[in-house]
Structures are given as C-alpha cells and as structure tokens.
Chains A and B, each alone.
Chain A
Amino acid sequence: MKRRRASFAKLWLLCLALAAVIVARAHYITDLSAFLPASPSPTQQLLVDQLRDGPASRLILIAIEGGDAGARARVSAAMAARLRRDRQFSSLNNGEPVTAERDREFLFQHRYLLSDQVSAARFSEPGLHAAILDTIDELASPVGLMLKSLLPNDPTGEMLHIIDQLERTPSPTTSDGVWVSPDGTRALMVAQTAAGGSDTDAQERAIEAVRAAFADVREPAPATGAKPLQLKLSGPGVFAVGARAKIEHAAVRLSIASSILVVTLLFAVYRSLPALALGLAPVASGAVIGIAAVALGFGAVHGITLGFGITLIGESVDYSIYFFVQSRRLPPNEASASSWQRAWWPTIRLGMLTSVCGFASLLPSGFPGLAQLGLYSISGLIAAALVTRYVLPELLPSGFVIRDVTPVGLRVAGLLRRVRQLRGIHLAAFSVALAASALAVLRLHHDTLWNRELAALSPVSAEDRNADAKLRGDLGAADVRDLVIVSGPTLDSVLSGAERAAQTLGALVDAKVIGGFDSPANYLPSAATQQARRDSLPAPAPLLDNLQRATAGLGLSSGRLQPFLRDVEAASHAPPVTVQDLQGTSLRAGFDALILHERDRWHALLPLHAADSAQAVDTARVMAALQGAELEETRVLDLKQESDALYEGYLSEAIHLSLAGVLAILVLLMITLRSPLRVARVLAPLLLAVLTVAAGLSLCGVQLTILHLVGMLLIVAVGSNYALFFDRQASVHQAGGESLTLASLVIANASTVIGFGLLSFSQVPVLVALGTTVAPGAFLALLFGVLLAAPDVSNPGPPHSGASRA
C-alpha cells in the first residue's frame, strides 16, 4: 500500500509539472476569432478575413466633443499632425486638405489613363465636339467654375469625370478646415492602423497613441463654464480592445468573487484548512491539465477558454465535497477512503462520464472556441476525478476528519419529507404538467426562441453600437453590406476582372437595380486597359486636325487649347500608372480598402450602393446579372446575411451535436444502469430542469444563443451527478446514507449556484448567458432530482431520524 501511495502522488506531481511547463509555453490568442469558423467555405473565408484583418477592421473613428468649435478644430489639427508622423497609422484623415494638392496632381497628370471615357471615338472630330460642348455646359453651371482654369488643358472634361467616378460616397461636413458632425458639435477624424484588426495588442497600442496625442494637445477648458474637450473613440479595434479588457476584467473579478464565496462555503463546511486545500486540489489540477490539453490539441489557447474553462469544470469541486462528506460517516482511516471508493466512486465516475459525453458534443464544433471548451472540460474533469479517486485518499493526513454535516442533510431531509407527502400520483402529475407547460411556452416562442444573429455573441453593448452607428453616420461612412468580389492570382487579373464586372454593374445602375458601386479599377486601371487607353490617343497632327474642325463655331478656338495638345502627346508616351504612383495620395487608402491580398490570391472588392437608401440591394438580381455575363471568379457577398448564416449554421450544428451528446449519455446510462426505469429516473429531473430554464428564459424575453446551449449541457453535466447519487442511494439501501448524500449534494449545489449566479451579474453577454442558464438549472436539477427520487430515499435510517427531531 505504501508503495502504491507514493507512486500515485509522484505521478500526479509529475503530470502537474509537465502540464505547467506546457501551459507556460503555450501560445495564447486574445482576439475574437474563437467565434469565427475554422474551416469555412471560400466566401466565408473572405468574410472572416474581412472581419479579422480587412481595411474596415483597421479603422479607428475619432470624435472630439466639448469646448468650442475653434478649440475642437485646433485640437483635431494638432492631433492629426502628430498621428500622421506615427508609423502605427497607415492613414489619418480629419478633412484637412493635406493630400488634396497631391491627389489633384495625380489625377490630373494621369487623367487620360484613369478616365474610362478615353477611347479613339472620343478623340475623333464628333467625339471632341460633343465633349467640348459638354464642358462648356459644365462651365455655365456652378460646378464648372472650379474647372475653368483647367479648360485649356482638359477641354474634354476628363478631370471632372474622374472625380465623379471616385466621389460616390458623400464626404463629411467641413468647418474651420476640419471634418465635423452635421450639427457641428463634434470634430471628426478617421485613422487607419497599419496592423490588422485581429492584432488586438497592436490595436491597443494604436488607441493608446490616439489618447496620448489628445492628452498632449488638449487645451485647458476655458474659464467660462464651457465643457472641457473630450475624446470619443469607436471602431472594430476599439471594440475588440474594450471587449478583451471587459472579458478579462469580468473573468478576473468574477473568478475572485466566486472563489472567495466557494472557499468560504467550503471552509464553513469543512472547518479545516488542510481539507480546504485538499478539496481544491482536484479542480486546480483539472484546470492546469485542461489548458495543457488544449495547448497540445489546438496549438494555441483562446482567451475565452482560459476565462470560462474553470467555470465549466466547477463540477469537479463537487467531487471532493462528495468524497469528504460521504466518507465522513465511516471511521477516519484508510479503510474509510477505500470503502468510499467501493460505495461511491462508481457513481462519481458515471457522473463524470455523463458530463464528458455532454462536453464531447462540443469537440467537433466548427467554432474553435467551443471545441476548445469541450476538450478543456473533458480533460479537466477526467483529471479532477482521477485526482479525487487516487490522489486525495493518499494525501489525507491520518486522523483527518471534517466537521459532521449530517445536521445539514437532516434539516434538508426534514423539509423534503413534507414535500414528499405529495408522493406518487401528485408528483407525477406535477412533473408532467410542468414539462407540458414548459413545452407549450417553448412552442409558443418557437419562432423567436433562438437568436440567429452573430451580433448576439458580440461583447459590445447596444449603447456602444449605437454610438458607433452615429459616428459612422456623421462621417458618411455607413456600413457596407453588399460587395461584389473578384478573385484572381495577380493584382492585375483582379483589376481586369473588376473592369469586366463594372460593365455589368453599370448596366444595373442604368436599370436602377443598384444606385452605384466603387471599384479599385477606378483608382488603378488594369495594365491592358491603360494600354488600350494610351493607344487610343491620336498623334499630334490628326488630333490638331480633329480639334480644329470640332471647335468650329463653339467659341473656343483651338489656338487656346495648345496645352491640351501637349498633354495628350505626353500621355501617349507616359509609362503606365502603378500602385507606387498612388503613394502619398489619399487615393492609396481608398485603393487599399478595396483590395485584399492573402498568400497567392488577390481579391478586388466592389461595394454596392443601394438605389434607394431605405432598401437593401437586390443581391439575387446582381448575382443573376453577373452569372449571365459569365464572369469568372466573381461573386456577390451580403456581409450581414452571410455572417448571420454562418452563425446560424453553427447554432444548428451545436443543437444537433448537443442532441447527439444527450443520446450518448442515454446509451451510457443504459449500459451501466441496465434498467430503463432507472435511466428514466436519472434523466427525468435533468430534462425537466433544462425545459423549465429554457421556458423561463423565453418568458423573460431572452433569445437563446449558442452559449445558452452550452449552459444547458452544463445543467445536464452537473445535474447528472445529483440524479445518479439518488439512484445509487435508492439501489444500495445504505442505512443513514441519505442525510449525508443530501448534505454533500446541497453543498455542491450551493457552490455551483454561487459560481454561475455571479456570472449573471457580469456585463459580458456570453457570461450572462451561461450564468442565467446554469445557476437556476443546477438548482432545479437538484430539486427535481430529490422530488423524483425513488421512495426509499425518503426514509433515513433510524439512528438519524431521532437526531433530526432533537
């Protein structure tokens, strides 16, 4: 016996040390990708890339409020000047015309390669005549005033046309030289970080840089009672950093709070520090082993696994409670432990195995976050159970004893006896009625039972989302919903593809199916298109000839248009425009926003604008038109619909897997209990608890998410232990056993309810979902377990029945 004891403890310590090394060396991921799919379709992959690292994910929207307009404009300019020098930002725009001059130069210099009107026909006599006539019309209108000075160089109006091509989205209002909200009360800026949106650390540093810039240039509030200047930030990176901080904060705070409460509860029960330390050994070992298993299995550990994992294996605290409390009844020596092992270990083992079956249903999930939680719980629970079974008994100091908790059990038993007078037909009727009404509620709420939007998982509060929407509205940067995506092996191939798609989309604009679209080819046409445009420019002599005849009678003599002839000749020899030429202009950011590059694939994004801002784009018609044109590697992506479809796919997958888990539990129980009646007795309280909680949440107007589903699995996992104990109690007919069983279950239940109850008070939706499901569910599982337990359990042995009346 001595030899065995030493080897188990040694093995345990060795395993822990090994796991600790793995945990210390593991790679941790802190972005929100735990809830993005691991093996998506190509379209979903694009979506995920967009969400993680796309240009939109790198935006920080900045507002400066308070003070007066002048102060806001000065601070905006000073901050912008500082942040533009910061390499963390690839672009920063506050409406100041810092790049306007370079933008204009670039567009003007390359107008004959950039304008999609350039063709041989346009430079023929009738083409020139029509174009110049248009330009003269243009001059007569207020718009033309700005272009008057360009006329000698650009009589065909290519410059205005290019600006028109690019400026589809309205710019924010400008006041005092900087962007402001339409009501003029806030100065606005948009920063784009160089790092991707999924690099939460880099996002955090960038946000810090913005705050530091503001703090440094902020002006003291004027004495005249005006509000001091304030900085407001929004955007995906700001949300990710905030969410991470919030989850970390909540996880830390709640873990500490629930640890204190559970430790206090356990100490009140055990009244012994060694017992407390030993009691926490299984759960602590389970946590370390769980993280190590995830690190080995997945290569990296998600922050969410670290944060919530421990709550999922909270059940393992119960193992030591059962062990201590139930072995208490026997004489305090090694024999007590071994007899406990004989009497109760099979029950705990079965309870653990049912939990493992439940959590195994998370393993195949496409959400890496859920799959990790599954592996963590399974390995953690097995480790904790093994530690309880083999290590704890050996670690017990000789003469170890915890306080007698029989009175707790007796008091509960006394309460129950009164309830149990309603035995038999009443109780069955009650259960059936409860189940029926819960089912009725769920049926009534069937359509709205599940929340099918990805936003349901978002840790961003509705308030923050509204503030973000307002800021975007002020900036005129409404969320893009529909995109046409053209993919290919090179940048030039996707630019050509975008140009071909643009022809189809142009027809849809004319048919008023869509209002308009953007294209990266507007910033940088494909090499072939540039070549074709350059080749269509006539030689000087024929151009002069055409021009002279075209301008006859227009009041604009060709003599005034010498600069035009010079520019066209220069353009016909100019090298093609490249990405490098865009550098230093604000057009670079616009272009980059519409191009995605990953490994050996390029994607051109063509955002679609609705014809009527109140209505969504008819993506089916766009898709049909693009298909009709037989464009290769071109598809339509409805971001909102696609991401919701993605989530719904995972939700239904999770529901199916959970049902499979329940089936596995059923099979496991059938094999071990070998009696349909006993299996029904074990499962009935669990199903009743899950149904009641689901119906209760529905009645409270809560829409269920994937996290509620995980919570229901937990109810089954934790509740199965209760039910199995009652089943065991009923079958072994152990005299006086019930009060101790009840005591251990009540204490274990209290620790679970405390732990999860605290989660309900968190600000993080995913934690609230878990807490509000598991806390009431675990309590109900125990209650229904007691009520539906076999009648034998209600008769405690004679030695204790007297004590309860004392």
Chain B
Amino acid sequence: MPQVDIEQIKDKLGLGEDKVYAVMGEFSDPHDLVHAGRKIREMGYTKIDALSPFPVHGIDDAIGVPQSKLGWMVICIGLCGSATALLLQWYVGAINYQLVIGGKPFFDFSYSIPITFELTVLFSAFASFLGMFAINGLPRLYHPSNNYRLAHRATDDRFILIVEANDPKFNPQVTSEHLKSVGAGTVEVVVG
C-alpha cells in the first residue's frame, strides 16, 4: 500500500492546516451587513459570502448572489412525475391488465387527473427538497467558516460577512482593513 500523504489529501479537500479560507467580520444588524456587503463589492471583491440567522433581504443584490435556478429543476422533475403517472395508468389499464369495470374506458385522461396531479406534486416536492440541499452542497460535516470565533452566533444574532481567499483581490492584511473600514467587528483571518 502506498504511503498516504495526509497533508496532500487535506490540501486537496481544502482542509490544509495553514490554508487561509477567508477574512470574516461580524455585524449585529442585518442592514449594516447589507450596506457593508455592497461597499466591499464596490471595492472590487467578487468572492463574498454572508452568514445570517435568517434570510436578509437585499443581501443577494448587495454581494452578487445570482438568482436561484431551482425552479427550472423542479418544473422538469415535476413534469417527469406527470409523465410517470400517465404512463403507469395507461400501461396498466390499456395494455397490461385490461379489465372491464362499470363499462369505463381502459384509459382516459379524465379519471387519470387525480393520480397525475398527486405524482406531479410528489416529484416536485422531492426535487425542491433534495435539489435545494444538493445545490447548497449539504449535508456536510465541516466547513472552514466554522473556525471563525463567532461562527456559532451566525445562527443566533450575528450577521457575518466573508471575503474568501480565492478572490483575486484577496490579501489577508488589506482585506482585514477593508472589512474594518466598512464597520465590521471581530475581524479575523480564518484558516481551515
């Protein structure tokens, strides 16, 4: 068995001990977060993220988060649900198991509506649930932003602004100063 270089693996997974993840700073009001995010973006940063205990309105626009494409995914999978239901009822009723019941036709769209509707809803629900977590890269056990001193407050009462290290303009010292200049508290260079 070849020798496994643990450092190399960590590096590949982005878990390197001394790898800088980002500069992070916190606010205690959502509006300050939005204003600061907008200013940071105007300084030319592109890899910005924010952590907040609830969806903050205006943050997507301020830090440049694109519109979610989840809706298209759900529509496609939902229509697959409709197709599955119609095919199932048509195949069972008209092809595989013809049975005369009350003189009703072997297959008809009218009586197929309820099951088609229900399966469309079922498929769409799974698509939006699983799709949302998949796009977000969840579930995951670890994320470098967890190393920030106040990361645990992001689900409570703090609004955290992140400038990631893979930003072309990123420089730990300069970016920290920039974050402080827009009013962030507890500015830290986070490694992980």
Bound together = no
Chain B interface residues (CB < 8 Å from chain A) = none
Chain A interface residues (CB < 8 Å from chain B) = none
